[in-house]
Amino acid sequence: MISLTLREIATIVNGRLAPTAPRDATVGGSVETDSRLVTPGSIFFAMPGGEADGHDYIPQAIANGAALVIAARAADAAVPVIVVGDGVAALADLARAVVARVRARGTLRVVAVTGSNGKTTTKNMLRAILGAQGRTVAPEASFNNHVGAPISMLRVDESTRYLIVEMGASHTGEIAHLVSIARPDIGIVLAVGRAHVGEFGGIDVIARAKAEMVVELPETATAILNSDDRRVAGMAGQTAAGVRWFGRGEGSGLRAWNVVSTLAGTAFDLVIDGRIVAVRLRIVGQHHAMNALAALSAAQVLGIDTDEAVAALEAMPRAERWRMELLRSPAGAVIINDAYNASPESASAALHALVAVRPAGSRSVAVLGEMTELGASADEEHAAIGALVNRLGIHRLVVVGERAKGIHSAVTATDGWAGTADFVPTADAAFGLLEAELGPDDVVLVKSSKSANLRFLGDRLAGIAQ
């Protein structure tokens, strides 16, 4: 973070600083809500929480070197403490002020990305492209909510050229709030799908939430929209910003033709500015062509040479840990570990990818767990995935966990099912079933929501120690 005096920080967060505190002393370290991540000079936000109260960890944060504590109540500490009425609001106010100051001082450009699927991969693609051009700040993992996103924003300093902000939401108003903090120059909307539909209450509500990205953009900004998704395309009329399009259909500013995915990666022809550029990603799955188009569209708006941007994407070894990550089992089976998140759309894309990349003569194996946060549609959506497994002709299915059992039930109840299917209650049981079975002619997809923990099963099948 940029250096600020204690007086400035207290004013920004509308907080109370003890009269004896050195008001003109400066701090400029990282901002953390986890005491374990605090390093000398950090600012520690003591956040109340459902499972743990950050105030209980103030001594640990100070022991790790915190120079300032921001808390919701007074604390007896060996470092200055600023007391605020609302820690989350204070964090947002500090991020808003810091980003604005850095923007005013230099050439900072802010790129924000949202969508039901593909946010983290697109964020990583943007980081690869922009990081080759200058100092770039982007979230680690999936820091994309009302706490994680501001923490990421607070990593900017005077030397930062690009800030990438990933914006997730489980309720309306959350993306609008993040946009108000970051004030993006570019806002990307990838897709509207059924992720978190149980919390939102319907896909039309999800569409309105994602549209907050472009509704809140100023007219000086650029909205980058997926022309293949009708709900995203409909957002063009809701923004004062300029609009750029990406997709695989006619009328897109950037287009992908001839998309082919194998175990070596995903290849497509990029149509841009009247020419065709061959793109060869090392990331498995045709759906990643769309994420690449979104990132390349942002690069085009920022004036980055297309060939340089493509080269940066082609150098990426993977999308992200546990996202279409290619591994090998000790017996030689290919493991596609895509079990960090799951929605009906991402599960469908992963299953299609499994079938597309499977070499002739090999066996396709799908290891599937629960898709969470689907609300009343959970049974229907799991059954639909089971029907898709059957339609795609996948050879072997293992369903893990009671809440995913509808996938197994749908497959085994389908006339014409020619594969083999098992239901097991736990990941340990799945490992015991598959460990001795898998061989060099198998391609295995492991897919579930994070809470099902099948990402660790994928690692175990690949011989990665837990």
Rounded to 10 degrees, the C-alpha dihedral 28/34/38/42 comes to 20
Helices in 148-256 by DSSP H: which ranges?
148-153, 174-182, 197-200, 203-215, 230-233
Q: Is 160 known as a binding-site position?
A: no
What strands lie across the sheet with 162-166, from one edge to the other? Answer: 136-137, 162-166, 109-114, 186-189, 222-226, 242-247, 254-262, 265-272, 275-281
> Are 162 and 136 contacting, i.e. CB atoms less than 8 angstroms apart?
yes
> Are 280 and 111 contacting, i.e. CB atoms less than 8 angstroms apart?
no
Distance CA 27, CA 5 (A): 6
* Other Cβ atoms within 10 Å of 307 Cβ, number: 9
40-to-12, 58, 61, 342, 358 alpha-carbon distances in Å:
22, 14, 9, 38, 50
Q: Is 121 known as a binding-site position?
A: yes
Distance CA 330, CA 299 (A): 40
DSSP state of 19: T
Place of tokens 């706490």: 147
Q: Is 159 known as a binding-site position?
A: no
Amino acid at 95: A
162 DSSP β-pair partners: 109, 136
Q: Is 120 known as a binding-site position?
A: yes
Instruction: Give the side-chain half-sphere CA count within 13 A for 147.
Output: 12
Q: Is 386 known as a binding-site position?
A: no
Place of tokens 């209650």: 425
Q: Which residues does the annotation place in the binding site?
A: 115-121
Q: Which residues does the annotation place in the binding site for ATP?
A: 115-121
